[in-house]
Chain A
Amino acid sequence: MSYTRREFTRGMSIGAGGAALVPLLRQMKLHAEGDKDGMPRRFVFVVKSSGLTGEAIRPIGFEKPVNEKVLDVALKDLQLAPTLQSLEPFKDQLLILDGLSGRNFTGNHSSYYGALSCHHAPEKPAAATIDCILGDMFPAPFKNYGFSANGHSIGNNFGPIVQETAVFPRISAHGQNKPMAYQASAEKAYRELFGSVINLAVGGKKEFKLQENLLDFLSEDVRRVSRSVSSLEREKLDHYLGAFDSVRARNVQLTGMSDAIRRNAPELSTQYSSKVFADRISLFFDLSAAALITGLSNVISIRADWLSTKYESFGFGSTSVHDIGHNKVTRNGLKSVDARSVIRKFQVDQIAGLAAKLKAVPEGNGTMLDNTLIIYMSDGADAHHSQRKNWPFVLVGGRNHKIKNEGRFLRYPSYQKAGHRTIGSFYNTLLQASGSQPQDHFGQIDSHLKDLDLKGPLQELLA
């Protein structure tokens, strides 16, 4: 099916302006009724850089993989890998997923948008990514929210390690050529998410109200120009008008949620202006928890680190994640494999912290964690320069997501072996479990796997 741009624009502004309130109301109603099946589904994607190896996350005793058949063991009586220890309290809703591939989504150290869209997209987005698709399926005032301490500015990654503006880490996209911005600044994220009801020195309540003036003024300006241009060019301006409409719609929603926002907004602290990379990441997890609990967003993506990231507060000195990938010893004398463990433990601890916060909030017959699936992965499969023949994931929470993740280590047969599956199959499973129409595939198909049956979701995972 193909749309004209005008049809597309029209659809976009209707979607943003009119229909946006409906899901929120539905959600609020369900909250009140405690309907388990109708509970909001939430997702948190935590995407790290430079690979996540299978060996590092497999339970003790299973480090060497079985390659020929599906391996499915309960985690209950197993010991988790050392860097995954903090997930012990969540073992009953933990899934270690191993053996999937994504060989055709190439890039140098990263598959970039391909990691979440299953398209070859190292340079610019070729299709919508799974987080943005889920954001559309489970809308909230912010359909998606992304946190990343740094990201691209005009095609280079040499900016400061901790930036203070909107960035593009090249991970998420709303569609072809529509990259999703992440927020690098913790302060700005705070203002965006919670500023509508709080008096702040910059931004805050006062400015939130004044935004309406700005949107009205800009809309009028666009309409004035529209009158003097031809139809094709007017479509460009319709896109611009559409942007104002969605901001307006969001503001209406935020106004309606002011009590909840006031109640759940975290305390602003000096840590918000800290330039220490690890501090910033911790804040991102705090902000994510607060945003999820408030209902500001149901899908959050966190870029956990980046090739040029330097974990100076861990004593690594100027050794970057990229350097570690190339076996450079850190300033405090850690070899690559040990430095990677320190980083991984830090990230997993953050995830555990988020899970604990969500578990503390009752929802329906259980807790918010039951309705929130946290997905930990790398943008470049299992190695610094990966062939992407194994792309491991760690899944925490989401008991009600209709995914069988009740404490399992699930490993699929190796690349090209009978029964092998891809990360596309996994995303397809997430979509189908989330109520999407069944599809054969998600994303592009690996031509090296044409002899395998890759159709449909991962049956082992579907509840």
Chain B
Amino acid sequence: MKLCVTRSWALLFILFTGIANGVELDREGQYSSVIVPLLKDHCISCHGVEKKKGRVSLHDIGIEIKNGKSMDLWARVLEQIETGEMPPEDERQPTAIERQLVVNWIKDTLVLAGRGFELKSKLLLPEHGNRVSHELLFNGEIKGPAFTPSRLWRMSPHVYRGKRYPLRVAGGIEAEPVAYASKASGIRDYASQEIMGESGFLSLKMALDDIISNQLHTKESYKAITEAKEFPSSDAMCRVIREEFQRSTGRSIKPEEMDRYLTFMQKNLKQGGLETGLKISILGIYLSTEAVYRMELGRGDPDEHGRQMLSPQEVSLALAYAFADTPPSQIPILQQALKQDQLSQKEDIEIVVRRMIAAGHPPLRRNMPAAYFPRMIQEGEHGYGWYPRIVRFFEEFFLYPKAAGTFKDSSGEAIGSRALVGAPQGHVSAILNEDNHVFKELLTSPRFNNNKFAMLARLKNRYAKDLNRVTPEQALKRYNEGLKHARHLKDETFRAGILTDNSWLIAHSTNDANDPVHRGIWIRQRLLAGNVPDLPIGVDASVPEDPHKTLRERFEVTRKEECWKCHRTINPLGMPFESFDDRGWVRKALYFDRVKNIYLPQPFIHQEQLEKLRQKGVVDIIPVDASGEIFGTGEPGIDGPVRDAREFVQRLARSTRVRQSIIRHAFRFWMGRNEMLSDSVSLIAADQAYVQSGGKFSEVLVALLTSDSFLYRKADHSLIAKTNSKK
């Protein structure tokens, strides 16, 4: 055991210093002393002189960087090792540190071979976040120091709405010029991915031009210029500049900046006349660098690790956009904190964050059924779970809003798209506001059932409350309205958590069928922090149509050797959701039409009629096979076969890996980037805060927003690559 620990520490030491036995190892040195032994231990027996599985042999791979073939092969090896595809699961596995050493060495080699740009850009993509070793992030061996590379972060499309430019142009400013470049299927707002280029500039300029033009003769401060009898006064100009600067950047203008803008405006008014001159001048403010990019440079003195803490002004901006889309100038708590200098020490910042959480937010109108929303407001619904950015994290994580846009060709019982998304959104925010074992609740809560009994209980509860708020007649009227609705509900008890909600199921379905592959990929990536290799080029990833077979039978094609290598890690995680049809209704059986010799789409017919048809021998009723398997958590009691969706999600909800995986995604969302190994301390703190508080997500937020990863910046950007390779 002692030997083991010693070796592990030695390797960790090499990992971070590149030094072995007191000698600094160069690339060749690391190859011969670290990489070759690992290749021999784990790879050569299958990929060597005698066996060449998959026509790959590594015994003579070579490390000459000018050798393109050899570098191509290393790139393939990297993909396999980084995603955990190799060594195969039934073989002895290298430790996390050993794996990381090989990954780092190959990356260094590929960088030298001129392939650094590809590697670096891949590393920054949201979909590659899980490639950072989960074990090393959470085993506590890496002690930091954590930081985020200093950066410019392009204002998100949502932030433009938050700037409250008076919009009269439908679809204008929130449109694609500032849309995300990242995939809609992941965490979206990544600082490294978003750039304001030519098309963004031109379209944004067009939209802003309209917004300003519409106000030239309506807004008082503008009128003082456009309708001035003589050349406008400096006061009138300064007022416009001050107000518009504050609106567009979220901070007060400094005197030297005011001078610059004033000179600019005077020149424009003289040359272009009052209207045109004013418009061009305001465009200069709205399109300035700081209005299109958030500055996160770190302004304090560097500490011993070369990190600089964000300035109070930067902290206020970062916190404002952590909770909502409005600038700090519109958030009183942050304004007060700025005035009282409470944003320069970590302890003070924690107090401010807690204050923001305690203050909460009223419900968001978005996705809420029109009739329901005013009532929520009236009933005083409130809590931190309604902050726009918190709602958005869970939207981007679970992707349930995608259900509203999933078009259905299959026959079956429809659900209104607003209700489809509004209901789970309400549940998610309620779970957050209750703030008790949040992940477990999200994954297993029975409230996602369309359950008549639960609805009746809720109605009674509300009736009792209503009696204190409105007249007895009104309370009774509301109760009776609810009762009408409740009668249409099914008596479900099977559903558990959001993954069994119609919305998540539909969002992860095709036009006419269940989609076990994308469901499996979602589980693997989002809940198990796992990797799924890119779809190989040239592979036809369609499942053959065949009405004579069940979906599970049609999926047999994925058992071909070249497919099964990846699909074995996906299908068993998606198949438990066969407990539902493609619109997310619970089902226990499939129906086989013996006359037509095909499986019937469902639900196509009422139970009683089905029973009659069965008795006549026209239809066979076949129980659904919703079995699947969990693997890869390494946790006893979690890995293993499951019977159906309910057992599946309940077991996942108990897993440490699942908890940490959700926290990793929250980290990405709030940091706007992928994890680096140096973020280990921040992640562990967030994980512990959750565990120790009995599952409060608010504590995860506090931990993340007061972490070094959130508050510190470091200027050398090459560190993005190096932290994951070599320090």
Chain A residues near B (Cβ < 8 Å): 2-5, 12, 16, 108-109, 123-124, 150-156, 159-160, 163-168, 174, 177-181, 188, 202-203, 206-207, 209-211, 213-214, 217-218, 221-222, 225, 228-233, 236-237, 239-240, 242-244, 246-247, 385, 447-448
Name the residue on B nearest A235 (C-beta): B195
Binds A, one of B27-35, B177-185, B377-385, B703-711: B177-185
A242 touches B272 (CB 8 A): no
- A/B pair count, beta carbons within 8 Å: 174
Other 4 A-B pairs with CB < 8 A, given A207-B272, A221-B288: A165-B206, A210-B271, A229-B297, A232-B149
A156 to B171, CA, bound (A): 9
Quick check: B183 and A233 within 8 Å, CB to CB? no
Partner among B170, B198, B210 whose Cβ is within 8 Å of the Cβ of A243:
B198
Q: What is the bound-complex CA distance between A167 and B171, given in angstroms?
A: 8
A214 — which chain B residues lie within 8 A by C-beta? 280, 283-284, 287
Is the C-beta of B372 less than 8 angstroms from some C-beta in chain A?
Answer: no
Interface locus among B150-158, B489-497, B640-648, B656-664: B150-158
* Docked complex: B270-324 residues within 8 A CB-CB of A: 271-273, 276-277, 279-280, 283-284, 287-290, 292-293, 295, 297
Q: Do B177 and A233 touch across chains, with their CB atoms under 8 A apart?
A: no
Q: In the complex, which residues of chain A have a beta carbon less than 8 angstroms from the beta carbon of B295?
A: 225
Q: Are B176 and A181 in contact (CB under 8 A)?
A: yes
Flag if B198 contacts A217 (CB, 8 Å). no
Chain B residues in 8 Å Cβ range of A178: 197, 199
How distant is the Cα of A168 from the Cα of B150 in the complex, in angstroms?
32
Give A178 to B177 CA distance when docked, in angstroms. Answer: 9
Knowing A206-B273, A229-B297, A448-B540 are in contact, say whether A152-B175 is a contact too (CB < 8 A). Answer: yes
Of all chain B residues, the one with the shortest Cβ separation from A244 is B201
- Rounded to whole Å, the gap between the CB of B264 and the closest CB of chain A is 5
Contacts of B271 in A (CB 8 A): 209-210, 213
Contacts of A217 in B (CB 8 A): 264, 284
A-B contact pairs, 20 of them (CB 8 A): A108-B511, A154-B174, A156-B405, A159-B171, A164-B170, A165-B207, A166-B202, A168-B176, A179-B179, A188-B206, A206-B276, A214-B284, A217-B284, A221-B284, A221-B288, A222-B289, A225-B295, A233-B152, A236-B196, A243-B200
Q: Measured between alpha carbons, how far is A165 from B172 in the docked complex, in Å?
A: 6
Residues of B within 8 A of A156 (CB): 405
How many residues on the B side are at the interface (Cβ–Cβ under 8 A)?
66
Q: Are B202 and A213 in contact (CB under 8 A)?
A: no
Q: Which of B152, B174, B276, B292 contacts A210 (CB 8 A)?
A: B276
Say whether A153 contacts B213, CB under 8 Å: no
- Given contact pairs A179-B199, A230-B716, A153 touches B276 in the complex (Cβ within 8 A): no
Tell me if B355 is interfacial: C-beta within 8 Å of chain A. Answer: no
Whether B201 pairs with A165 at a CB distance below 8 angstroms is no
Q: Which residues of chain B come closer than 8 Å to A222, judged between CB atoms? A: 289
A154 touches B540 (CB 8 A): no
Whether A236 contacts B195 by the Cβ 8 Å rule is yes
Assembly CA distance A228 to B289 (angstroms):
13
With A2-B117, A213-B280, A225-B290 as contacts: A239 and B195 at CB distance below 8 Å: yes
Question: Within the assembled complex, what's the spacing in Å between the Cα atoms of A154 and B179?
Answer: 7
Q: Is B279 touching A207 in the complex (CB atoms < 8 A)? A: yes
- Determine if B196 and A233 form an interchain contact, defined as CB atoms under 8 angstroms apart: no
In B236-287, which residues have CB < 8 Å from any A CB? 264, 267-268, 271-273, 276-277, 279-280, 283-284, 287
Check B203 for interface membership: any CB of A closer than 8 A. Answer: yes
In the docked arrangement, what's the CA distance between A124 and B210, Å? 26
Pair A218/B288 contact, Cβ less than 8 Å = yes
Given A4-B117, A164-B169, A209-B271, decide whether A243 and B201 contact each other with a Cβ distance below 8 A: yes
Q: Name the CB-closest residue of A to B272.
A: A210
- Of the residues A2, A123, A209, contact of B184 by C-beta under 8 Å: A123
Binding site for A on B (CB under 8 A): 117-118, 149-152, 154, 157, 169-172, 174-177, 179, 181, 183-184, 195-203, 206-207, 209-210, 213, 264, 267-268, 271-273, 276-277, 279-280, 283-284, 287-290, 292-293, 295, 297, 405, 407, 409, 511, 538-540, 715-718, 720
A166 touches B289 (CB 8 A): no
A108 lies within 8 A of B407 (CB) = yes
Contact status B289-A225, CB under 8 Å = yes
Cross-chain contact of A153 among B172, B267, B273 (Cβ < 8 A): B172
Given the complex, which residues of B lie within 8 Å of A181, measured CB to CB? 176-177, 199, 202-203, 206
Considering the complex, give the chain B residue whose CB is closest to the CB of A444: B537
| A448 CA to B271 CA, complexed, in Å | 63
- Name which residue of chain A comes closest to B717, CB basis: A232
- The answer to whether A124 and B150 have CB atoms under 8 Å apart is no
Once the chains bind, are B177 and A166 in contact (CB under 8 Å)?
yes
User: In the complex, are the beta carbons of A239 and B196 less than 8 A apart?
Assistant: yes
A240 touches B207 (CB 8 A): no
The chain A residue with its CB closest to the CB of B117 is A4
Return chain B residues, CB-CB under 8 Å to A221: 284, 288-289
Residues of B within 8 A of A203 (CB): 209
Whose C-beta in chain A lies nearest to the C-beta of B261?
A: A217
Max chain A Cβ within 10 angstroms of own Cβ: one of B175, B287, B511, B538: B175
Q: Which of chain A's residues have a CB closer than 8 A to the CB of B718?
A: 232
Residues on the B chain within 8 Å of A448, using CB: 540
A240 touches B196 (CB 8 A): yes
Which of A151, A177, A447 is close to B538, meaning CB atoms less than 8 Å apart? A447
Residue from B118, B183, B276 having most chain A Cβ neighbours under 10 A: B276
Query: Are A213 and B170 CB-contacts (below 8 A) given A179-B199, A221-B289?
Result: no
Report the separation of the CA atoms of residues A237 and B207 in the bound assembly, to the nearest whole angstrom: 21
When distances are taken between beta carbons in the complex, the residues of chain A under 8 Å from B297 are: 228-229
Q: Quick check: A166 and B539 within 8 Å, CB to CB?
A: no
Q: Which residue of B lies closest to A7 (CB)?
A: B117
* Chain A CB within 10 Å, residue with most, of B201, B279, B540: B201
Q: Are B272 and A166 in contact (CB under 8 A)?
A: no
**Complex Cα spacing A153 to B161, Å:** 12
User: Are A237 and B280 in contact (CB-based, < 8 A)?
Assistant: no
With both beta carbons as reference points, the residue of chain B lying nearest to A179 in the complex is identified as B176
CA distance A166 to B540 in the complex (A): 37
Q: Which of B152, B264, B290 gathers most chain A CB within 10 Å?
A: B152
Q: Is the CB of A174 within 8 A of B280?
A: no
Instruction: Enumerate chain A residues within 8 angstroms of B149, measured Cβ to Cβ.
Output: 230, 232
| A237-B273 CB under 8 A given contacts A4-B117, A230-B715 | no
Report yes or no: B280 in contact with A207, Cβ–Cβ below 8 A: yes
Q: Chain B residues near A206 (CB, 8 Å)?
A: 272-273, 276
Q: Is the CB of A447 within 8 A of B169?
A: no
Q: Which residue of A lies closest to B213 (CB)?
A: A202
Known contacts A202-B213, A243-B201, A447-B538; is-contact A237 B289 (Cβ 8 Å)? yes
Q: Is the CB of B171 within 8 A of A177?
A: no
In the assembled complex, the CB of B638 is this many whole angstroms from the nearest CB of chain A, namely 34
| Alpha-carbon separation in the docked complex, A447 to B170 (Å) | 42
Measured in the bound complex, the distance between the Cα atoms of B166 and A449 in whole Å is 53
Q: Considering the chains assembled together, what is the distance between the CA atoms of A150 and B175 in angstroms?
A: 11
Question: Please, which residues of chain A bring their CB within 8 A of the CB of B176?
Answer: 152-154, 168, 179, 181
**A228-B297, A229-B150 are known contacts. Are A447 and B207 too (CB-CB below 8 A)?**
no
How many angstroms from the CA of A90 to the CA of B172 in the assembled complex?
39
> Inside 8 A of A225's CB, which chain B residues have their CB?
152, 289-290, 293, 295
Measured CB to CB, the nearest residue on chain B to A450 is B538
CB B189 to nearest CB in A, in angstroms, measures 13
Q: A165-B175, A166-B177, A237-B152 are in contact. Are A213 and B511 (CB under 8 A)?
A: no
- For residue B207, which residues in chain A have a CB less than 8 angstroms away from its CB? 165-166
Name which residue of chain B comes closest to A6, CB basis.
B117
Query: What are the residues of chain B within 8 A of A168 when measuring CB–CB?
Result: 175-176, 179
A163 touches B171 (CB 8 A): yes
Give chain A residues whose Cβ lies under 8 Å from the Cβ of B405. 155-156
Please give the distance in Å from B590's CB to the nearest CB on chain A.
Answer: 25
Candidate in A163, A178, A232 with the most chain B CB atoms within 10 angstroms: A232
Q: Contacts A4-B117, A236-B293, A240-B289 hold; do A164 and B540 have CB atoms under 8 A apart?
A: no
CA distance A209 to B267 in the complex (A): 13
**Known: A154-B157, A213-B264. Is A239-B284 also a contact (CB below 8 A)?**
no
